Amino acid sequence: MRIRRLLLIYILLIFPALSLNAGENISLSAALDKIDIQFEETVELKLEIKWQGDITSYAFEVIPLPELENLKVLGTSSAISSGVENDNEITTRTFKYTLKPTGSGIGIINPITLQSISMPDSIPGLLSTQLMKVNIAIPIPVEKESGVQIYLYLMIAALMIAAVVIVVLKKRNRPDIEPIKSPEEYFSETLAQIKANSQQDRTQFFTKLHSALANYIKAKFSIETSGQNAEKIVGQIEKLEISANYKEKISGWLIRSEKEKYAPFGGEPGDIIRLISELENFFNDIK
C-alpha cells in the first residue's frame, strides 16, 4: 500500500497536469463538530468527498482509519447522495468517525490522504486534509474509596440487615393481638353462638342469654351484675341517663330471660326465633 502511494505521488510530480485534471471537479474536506472536549466526551470527525458527475465518475482506494494521537476510533458510518448544482450533477460521499480521548492535552488527527481515479480516462488524483487538533480536558478525578471506607460500608450494611432480621423475628414471635371490641360486638358474637348451639334447648338458651345480657350490662355501664337477680340489676339501670326505650328493651330482655330459664315448658311456638331477631336488629343498630 505504501509503495503504491509513493508511486502515485511520483506520477503526479512527473505529470502535474494530470493531478490538475483529476482534481478540477473533486474536493475533499474535513471538519470536527467541536475542538474543545471533556475527557469523558467524544468528538465527531466528518470527511466529505464531493465531485461533479454520478457515482461512477470516480474510483477510490479504500480510505484507511485516520492516524490519531491521544484519540481512538469508537465507531464509523458512511453515506452517499446525489444532487444538482448549477445544472450539474453533484455526488457527495460522507464518512463519519466517532473519536474518544485516550489521554488529556492535545488530540491530533493527522492528514488523511485520498487516492482517486477519474473514469473512464483513468487519470489518477491525490487529495489530502489538513492536520487537525482537539483540546482535551484533564479527566475528572474519581475518588478511590479507602479500605476503611469499604469496611464502614460493610458494617453499616451488616447492621441494616441485622435490624431487618430482628424486626421480622419479633413480628413472627409477637402474639396476635385481637382488636378491641365494643360491648355490643361481644354480645352479638355471643348471641350468634347461642343461636347456633342452644336454640333447640329452651332452658339452656335462656340461661345463656341471661348470662350474656348481664355481661353486656356490666361491660357497658360498669354495673356489678355477679350474684344479683334481674330486679336489682334493672334498678341500677333505671338510674342511668340513657333513653327510656333503651332501658325498657334491655331490662325487659333481662327479666324475661331470668324468668324463662326457670320455666322450660312455657312460651309460644317460634317465640325464641322472634326474640333472636329482635336482639340482632337492636344490637346491629347501636354498634
Query: Tens of pLDDT along 21-39?
Result: 344 689 999 999 999 999 9
DSSP 217-251: HHHHH----TT--HHHHHHHHHTS-S-HHHHHHHH
Evaluate whether 102 touches 70 at the Cβ level (below 8 Å): yes
Q: Which residues touch 80 (CB under 8 Å, ≥6 apart)? A: 55, 91, 92, 93, 94
Higher pLDDT, 3 or 91: 91
Full-model pTM: 0.45
Give the whole-angstrom CA distance, residue 142 versus residue 151.
19
Q: What is the pLDDT of residues 194-222, one digit of tens each?
A: 888 887 888 888 899 899 999 999 988 88
* Residue 154 banded pLDDT, cuts 50, 70, 90: confident
Fold of 2-136: Immunoglobulin-like (2.60.40)
Q: What is the pLDDT of residues 164-180, one digit of tens each?
A: 888 887 777 666 666 78
Helix axis angle for 183-197 and 202-221, nearest 10°, is: 170
Domain with CATH 2.60.40 in the chain: 2-136
What pLDDT score does 152 carry? 82
Please say if the pLDDT value at position 7 is more than 70.
no
Query: CA separation (Å) from 201 to 144, 157, 187, 196, 207?
Result: 84, 65, 20, 11, 10
269 φ/ψ sector (left φ>0, alpha ψ -120 to 50, else beta): beta
What pLDDT score does 117 carry? 87
